[in-house]
Amino acid sequence: MALGFSEALLLLTTALFAILYLTRKKKDSRYPRGPTPLPFIGNVHQIGRTPLKSFQKWAQEYGPIYSIKMGSVDTIILNDHKLVKELLADNATAGRSENPVITAFSKGHGIINVDGPTWEEQRRFTIRKLRDIGLLKSTIESKILEEVKSLLNVFERNVGKPMSENRMFNGAVVNTLWAIVSGERHEWDAPVEPEILKKTDELITAVSRIALTGLIFAPVMRHIVPKWSGWTDWTNSILNLKKVVDVTVVSHTEKHDPNNPNDFIDHFLAQIKNEDDPSSSFYKENGAANLFAVVTDLFVAGSETSANTITWAMLQLSQNLEAQIKMQKELDRILGAPGDGSRLPSLSDRPSLPYIDAVISEVLRISPVLALGAPHKMLQDMEFKGYFFPKGANMWVNIYSIHHDASIWGEDVEKFRPERFLSEDGTQVIRHEALLPFGTGRRVCIGETLAKDTIFLFLASIFHKFIVEPYPSCVKADMEPVIGFLLRTKPFKVVVRNRGK
């Protein structure tokens, strides 16, 4: 009797599952345990619509180190800050995922999504050259404050009007980083949106899409449903951004003076021109590919994380007016009462403004924009604390779980309380070892200093000049994050009022 299509499909599926079960590689008994995965999809079906809560639940069930499968990829989840710091200091954990969706962005170049000699060479060069042009010094302050002034003017024009959170700070922060990288500045609040900002927005929208569809966890969908999965928009947004960056690089190349570099692209072009080692990541076409990757790594990743953190701060402070008032009293004491005679804050004021630093730390704790950090990959087999981590396994640091662990932060862990980062007399900032918004170890974020400086100057400037209150329809905002590649706020509106008038 001939089988029908449905029966044949069922028989084939059953056979495939049986083959996978019988031929699966038996794991070392020391491999971290975790929830039972299914073939092909792993544990993706169990993560559901609240992945952060699922990860927290598994940490309680399986302990500080457990394993899951993201599709077919072995993935180890780390949930203890002390173990994280010890483990990620080891070279064996410094790899990056080979996920084809992620690597489509950099194609084996740049800093964020690569490992090995390319990563080491590009990271070393980038840190050194950004230091040369003032990124890690206070000289960068003028570029940040220029965008702060533009933002304050936008706020001034909207006093008393409802203001949406929707990409409120992205233009100003993107402009800051683009000025550092390329030496160019755009009027980001002009009627016609600058191309660099427009294409960055498109890229971030595409990133959110592929996170929501699960394409990152099941890359095979890019071949099956490229449009629905977000693959088409993702690859198009990469190409469109590359075109904008290429125009800037060509312009720099045409007027390049290797003896007088003005920005990061100038320094990079000089390195490419002087490189004669074919194995170098700066050599000819390889150097050009790395230039695009590093530039986009720097300003896309840096601008989105900083802009989102400032947005979270606006939401928290509009909902916690007591904390906002404490900030403003501290600012008035150092900068003077807001008005014509006051000045903008500077980085040199920071030691005298501990409460603002505590506010920033609490925002980074309660709403870490990169909730799972960037994925690591094991470069070799490793035994750690009785566990076995195999070469090739992915590793995620559950930053959100660590930042919301009541055994570390107390029973009020879900409450916005900046005082947890202050000494008893409120005069000193306490640096907590479990605060890991920028990662740790060999792959700690190279933009941490710039991000903190940017967030500080924006928040101090805004709240010295304005009172920020919830719009009447958003008096009690929903503080649960929108889950995606980055943790975002749910839609909210605020109203700003002048403090000096």
Place of tokens 């002390």: 82
Considering only 30-39, 129-138, 468-477, which range has the smallest mean pLDDT? 129-138
Contact assessment for residue 281 and residue 118, using Cβ atoms and an 8 Å cutoff: yes
What's the pLDDT at 230? 93
Of the pLDDT bands very low, low, confident and very high (cuts 50, 70, 90), residue 478 is: confident
3-state SS class at 412: coil
Among 304, 108, 77, 94, which residue's Cα sits nearest to residue 197?
304
Task: Determine how many CB atoms are found less than 10 A away from the CB of residue 130.
Answer: 22
pLDDT > 90? residue 38: no
pLDDT at position 155, please?
Answer: 94
Q: What is the reported pLDDT for 14?
A: 56
Q: Residue 78's closest CA among 327, 445, 400, 482?
A: 400
Q: How many CB atoms lie within 10 A of CB 97?
A: 22
Mean pLDDT of 188-198: 78
Cβ neighbours, 10 Å, residue 500: 12
Say how far apart CA 389 and CA 90 lie, in whole Å: 12
- Per CATH, the number for 27-498 is 1.10.630.10
Cite the DSSP H helix spans in 352-398. Answer: 354-366
User: Using an 8 Å Cβ cutoff, are 345 and 457 in contact?
Assistant: yes
Domain spans of the chain, in order of start:
27-498
Closest residue by Cα to residue 373 from 353, 401, 345: 401
What pLDDT is stored for residue 130 in this prediction?
81
Give residue-wise pLDDT tens across range 274-304: 999 999 999 999 999 999 999 988 877 888 8
Between CA 333 and CA 335 the distance in angstroms is: 6
446-461 average pLDDT score: 92
Q: Residue 88 corresponds to which tokens in the numbers above? A: 């990620």
Average pLDDT value for residue range 185-196: 77
What is the DSSP track for 198-255? HHHHHHHHHHHHHHHHTTTT-TTHHHH-TTTTTHHHHHHHHHHHHHHHHHHHHHHHHT
Supply the pLDDT for residue 41: 79
SS3 label, residue 161: coil
Q: Is residue 149 over pLDDT 80? A: yes
- Per-residue pLDDT, 86: 95
Cα–Cα distance for residue pair 60/401, rounded to 1 Å: 10
Looking at per-residue pLDDT, the higher value among 339 and 320 belongs to 320
Residue 42 has pLDDT above 60, yes or no: yes
Decide if pLDDT at 454 tops 70. Answer: yes
The pairing of strands 65-70 and 162-164 is: unpaired
Q: Roughly how many angstroms between the first and final C-alpha of the chain, as a whole number?
A: 89
| Region of poorest pLDDT, from 339-343, 372-376, 422-426, 441-445 | 339-343
User: 321-335 and 302-319 are packed helices; what angle lies between their axes, rounded to 10 degrees?
Assistant: 110
Percentage, residues of the chain above pLDDT 70: 93
User: Would you state the pLDDT for residue 299?
Assistant: 77
429, two tokens? 């900032």
Tens digits of residue pLDDT in 85-112: 999 999 999 999 888 888 888 888 999 8
Q: Chain-wide mean pLDDT for the chain?
A: 88
Residue 23 has pLDDT above 50, yes or no: no
More confident residue, 450 or 359: 359
